[in-house]
Amino acid sequence: MNLKKLLSEIHRELWLLKHRGHDYSCPFCGYNADMMLPFGQEFVEDVEKYHIVGGGKRNVRCLKCGSHDRERLVYIYLKHVAGIFQSSRKFEVLHIAPEPRLSQTLLKSNLNYICGDLFTKGYTYPEYVRNMNVLHLPFEDNTFDVILCNHVLEHIPEDRKALQELFRTLKPSGLALLQVPISYQLEHTIEDFSIQDPHLREITFGQEDHCRLYGKDYIDRLKDSGFEVKMINISTEYAQFGVNPEENLFICRKRV
Ligand SMILES: [Zn+2]
């Protein structure tokens, strides 16, 4: 190891030592911290009024491993509520557009884990991520016990088609966690495909690469695809893991 790298590692270790505390506990790396780092993109004034939950700039990044609130929430649900790691059954899990910490943890677990993303030019992907289009999933009907699609649908123009594919490949009574950024102040989702300009998208939907801003009728969109949906909030119960108190989980099941 060269001297520059060694000094940088010592500096990082001292910094982590300095910020050890009891305010947050990361379920991925186990680091206990007195603070978290900023993550996400600040909303422009035009969309701030919508009070979008699950987006925007917020202090939610783990100092040690870089995990963020949204992937921690999904992991905590799977671990502490669904109990999929404790089960004697080997669950079949599909993870779309996998977040690094969550996917690495699931990969090392006792699950039959597959993850995929639509490969985009200019980006690199870990070798365990498969090139996959959520609009045409290369799997038989009723394949997966658990499907994770965490803050992905807002990027997909044909989100209803994606939902149909997720529903098709989920096993009867299987579980899908399909989180999106959402405004509970909006009765109806804002969607306008004529808006293609990145800046117009940012001031309309909250982010330049989003196709829409979901409102309270998101739940109807899930139900239209066949899912039975229950909206729950576990954030207060697991506040020590630095999750967003306002982020509800959409627990989607395939009716048997
Ligand atoms: Zn961490």
**Mean pLDDT, the chain, integer:** 95
Neighbouring C-alpha atoms within 13 Å toward the C-beta of 221: 25
Sign for the CA dihedral angle at 76, 81, 86, 88 comes to negative
CA of 67 to the centre of ligand 1 (A): 5
Residue pair 73/244 in contact by the 8 Å Cβ criterion:
yes
Under the banding of pLDDT at 50, 70 and 90, the label for residue 98 is: very high
Residue 11 has pLDDT above 90, yes or no: yes
- Looking at per-residue pLDDT, the higher value among 44 and 220 belongs to 220
Q: pLDDT digits over 109-124, tens only?
A: 999 999 999 999 999 9
Distance 5 CA to ligand 1 centre (A): 21
CA of 29 to the centre of ligand 1 (A): 4
* Predicted local distance difference test score (pLDDT) of residue 73: 98
Q: Determine the distance separating the centroid of ligand 1 and the alpha carbon of 107, expressed in angstroms.
A: 17
What's the 11 CA to ligand 1 centre distance in angstroms?
Answer: 18
The SS3 call for residue 176 is strand
Q: Which residue bears the tokens 């690199």?
A: 124
Ligand 1 center from residue 140 Cα (angstroms) = 35
Evaluate the CA torsion angle 251, 73, 215, 208 in order and state its sign. negative
Say how many Å lie between the CA of residue 134 and the centre of ligand 1. Answer: 29
- Return the SS3 of 129: strand
pLDDT at residue 87 in the model: 84
> What's residue 130's pLDDT?
97
CA of 101 to the centre of ligand 1 (A): 8
Query: Encoding tokens for residue 242?
Result: 């630095």
CA of 235 from ligand 1 middle (Å) equals 17
208, two tokens: 């330049």
Q: What is the dihedral sign for C-alpha 58, 60, 64, 66?
A: negative
- CA of 178: how far to CAs of 56, 74, 96, 132, 137, in Å? 19, 10, 10, 17, 16
Domains defined for the chain, CATH in brackets? 69-254 (3.40.50.150)
What spacing in Å lies between the alpha carbon of 46 and ligand 1's midpoint? 33
Reported as a single tens digit per residue, the pLDDT across 121-143 is 999 999 999 999 999 999 999 99
Distance 222 CA to ligand 1 centre (A): 31
Centre of ligand 1 from the C-alpha of residue 62, in Å: 5
Taking residues 203-211, what's their average pLDDT?
91
Provide the CA 51 distance to its chain's centre, in angstroms: 18
3-state DSSP assignment of residue 6 = helix
Find the 27 Cα to ligand 1 centroid distance in Å: 7
